[in-house]
């Protein structure tokens, strides 16, 4: 009897987790890390989220803002032999909403002209609104 109840409870918990993930509108990703592996994982999870037909919103801050700079390359990673920047550009082509935080450009002594196509400057009120929307999951790196 106890085993049956535990199995039933586990099944119910798993079902509700799958249902909750299926109900999410998408993913909000805040990326600040300079670490290539960390950046790559953020891009891989974002790409897989888009494959599930979910919305992806990415905000690049601090060192991660360099991914949006067309003059800066990023290192390729195995096993995909692609760089975080390559995946980011693929995400943009698939419709991901990608922005740099408003502090990145002025504090890096840059302007909008350095941004790769499809990247804009975030407005704090819009980012805050997305982060507070419980229909989105949040990943922060």
Mean pLDDT for the chain overall: 89
Whether residue 7 is predicted with pLDDT greater than 80 in this model: the reply is: no
Res 2: pLDDT: 52
pTM of the full predicted structure? 0.83
What whole-number distance in Å separates Cα of residue 96 and Cα of residue 50? 8
What whole-number distance in Å separates Cα of residue 33 and Cα of residue 66? 10
Residue 123 lies in domain = 25-140
Question: What is the pLDDT averaged over residues 28-45?
Answer: 98
Whether residue 74 is predicted with pLDDT greater than 70 in this model: the reply is: yes
| Counted domains in the chain | 1
- Give a yes or no: residue 20 inside a domain: no
CATH number of 54's domain? 3.40.1260.10
């Amino acid at each position: 009897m106890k085993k049956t109840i535990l199995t039933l409870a586990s099944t119910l918990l798993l079902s509700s987790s799958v249902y909750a993930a299926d109900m999410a509108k998408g993913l909000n990703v805040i990326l600040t890390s300079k670490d290539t592996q960390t950046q790559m994982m953020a891009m891989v999870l974002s790409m897989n989220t888009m494959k599930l037909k979910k919305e992806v919103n990415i905000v690049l801050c601090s060192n991660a803002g360099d991914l949006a700079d067309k003059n800066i390359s990023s290192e390729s990673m195995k096993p995909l032999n692609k760089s975080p920047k390559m995946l980011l550009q693929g995400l943009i082509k698939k419709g991901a909403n990608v922005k740099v935080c408003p502090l990145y450009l002025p504090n890096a002594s840059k302007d909008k002209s350095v941004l790769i196509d499809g990247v804009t400057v975030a407005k704090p009120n819009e980012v805050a609104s997305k982060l507070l929307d419980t229909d989105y999951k949040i990943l922060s790196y």
